[in-house]
């Protein structure tokens, strides 16, 4: 019995440090996956790619300028469609072809957040912030697309309530004869799954993702992984079970040896 007790104590002494290290690694990885601000802040000064859901920033949800939709980010563009004169390569005659130019382009600069999901929101955890100034978006929801014809002499002008809402000034060459104006607006809604690629910095001790010094912040809208795609057990738990199982086998062999000796 004395030998058995000594063997058990020896096994416990071997397993305990390994288990503590494995649990710490798992907890750190889990915190990073959940976008815990403290875990993310440890990566300040590096370029990161964070995946989560969009949430309102410190100022709360905002309203898009054209469609008046609740969102965390919005951007819009105005296109001017016109007739352009060009030379037909076959006949050499000048013909009219349809063309368009962008005459206004705007993206909101309001800071919003990215969180690890519903669990983080339920805990009231402050999200990692995203500064979208001059960001490149892909996959944002096109929430409005409206075409307004140009006014015709003797014909009542179509109602254009969007023009006064356009942010910034209308500018462009205004070549050719105007056909119509096209308004487009994109938004990110609270809860939309996103991936943010940028540079992580600290502002007043809080992590903020911004554009890297030699590039642009990239924000991709995408679907959340389904429950079937979610791992059933964190990778850290696998490492813990593997290391624990290996050492446990060795301890079992030691116990059998001691039992045989006894």
Q: For the segment 152-162, what is each residue's pLDDT rounded down to a tens digit?
A: 776 665 667 89
Residue 219 CB neighbours (<10 A): 24
Q: Which residue has the higher pLDDT, 233 or 52?
A: 52
Q: Which residue has the higher pLDDT, 237 or 175?
A: 175
Tokens of 16: 């305990």
pTM: 0.69
Residue 1, SS3 per DSSP: coil
Give me the pLDDT at residue 171, please.
Answer: 85
Query: In the beta sheet, which residues pair with residue 180?
Result: 81, 149
How many Å apart are CA 3 and CA 213, to the nearest integer?
64
- % of the chain exceeding 70 in pLDDT: 66
pLDDT, tens digit, 9 for 90 and up, residues 93-152: 888 899 999 999 999 999 999 998 655 554 567 899 999 998 999 999 999 999 998 777
Residue 238 CB neighbours (<10 A): 13
Confidence band (pLDDT; 50, 70, 90) for 235? very low
CA 7 to centroid of chain Cα atoms:
52
Q: Is the pLDDT of residue 19 over 50?
A: no
CA 175 to centroid of chain Cα atoms:
38
Q: Is the pLDDT of residue 37 over 90?
A: no
Residue 250 backbone zone (phi > 0: left; psi -120 to 50: alpha; other: beta): alpha
Tokens of 27: 């907890």
134, 108 in Cβ contact below 8 A? no
How many Å apart are CA 139 and CA 72, to the nearest integer?
15
Q: Which residue has the higher pLDDT, 20 or 21?
A: 21
Q: Which residue has the higher pLDDT, 241 or 184?
A: 184
112, 73 in Cβ contact below 8 A? yes
Q: Is the pLDDT of residue 191 over 80?
A: yes
Tokens of 11: 């096994």
Confidence band (pLDDT; 50, 70, 90) for 22? very low
- % of the chain exceeding 90 in pLDDT: 49
Q: Which helix (H) or strand (E) holds 179?
A: strand 177-188
Strand-pair category, 73-87 with 94-107: antiparallel
Residue with tokens 């339920």: 122
């Amino acid at each position: 019995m004395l030998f058995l007790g000594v063997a058990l104590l020896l096994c416990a002494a071997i397993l305990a440090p390994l288990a503590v290290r494995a649990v710490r690694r798992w907890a750190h990885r889990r915190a990073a996956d959940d976008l815990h601000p403290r875990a993310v802040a440890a990566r300040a000064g590096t370029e990161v790619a964070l995946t989560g859901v969009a949430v309102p920033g410190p100022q709360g949800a905002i309203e898009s300028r054209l469609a008046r939709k609740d969102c965390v980010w919005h951007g819009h563009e105005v296109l001017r469609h016109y007739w352009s004169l060009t030379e037909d390569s076959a006949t050499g005659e000048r013909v009219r072809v349809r063309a368009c130019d962008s005459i206004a382009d705007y993206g909101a600069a309001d800071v919003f957040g990215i969180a690890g999901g519903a669990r983080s929101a339920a805990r009231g955890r402050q999200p990692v912030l995203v500064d979208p100034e001059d960001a490149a978006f892909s996959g944002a929801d096109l929430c409005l697309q409206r075409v307004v014809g140009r006014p015709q002499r003797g014909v009542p002008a179509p109602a254009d309530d969007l023009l006064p809402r356009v942010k910034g000034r209308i500018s462009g060459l205004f070549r050719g004869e105007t056909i119509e104006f096209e308004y487009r607006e994109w938004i990110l809604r609270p809860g939309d799954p996103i991936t943010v690629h940028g540079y992580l910095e600290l502002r007043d001790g809080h992590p903020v993702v911004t554009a890297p010094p030699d590039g642009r912040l990239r924000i991709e809208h995408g679907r959340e992984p389904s429950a079937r795609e979610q791992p059933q057990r964190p990778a850290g738990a696998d490492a813990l079970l593997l290391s624990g199982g290996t050492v446990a086998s060795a301890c079992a062999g030691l116990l059998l040896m001691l039992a045989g000796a006894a």
